[in-house]
Amino acid sequence: MGKEIPHGFEKIRSGEQIQPPTFTNVAAAVAAGVTAAKFPRRIIHLSAGGTGSVACLAFSDGTNWKQIAIGANAI
């Protein structure tokens, strides 16, 4: 048949919310053992980790956490 769908995609298809783990900033994530090297391609929420200490998402490129700014409201 078709390709097997990973468990994470099943959650999305069923309408479940995606809730990435939340940390204050990257230092707090690293202190908790959540490093970019250990969790490549992972997305985390930083409550005060963005530029100007605002909330943002961060994406692991396998070496560093890359900031994804949360901008204007979606329409």
pLDDT of residue 63: 97
Question: What are 7-34's pLDDT values in tens digits?
Answer: 666 666 776 777 899 999 999 999 999 9
pLDDT of residue 6: 59
Question: What are 50-72's pLDDT values in tens digits?
Answer: 878 889 999 999 999 999 888 77
Could you tell me the pTM of the whole model? 0.74
For residue 56, what are the contacts with CB-CB under 8 A and spacing of at least 6? 45, 46, 49, 50, 67, 68, 69, 70
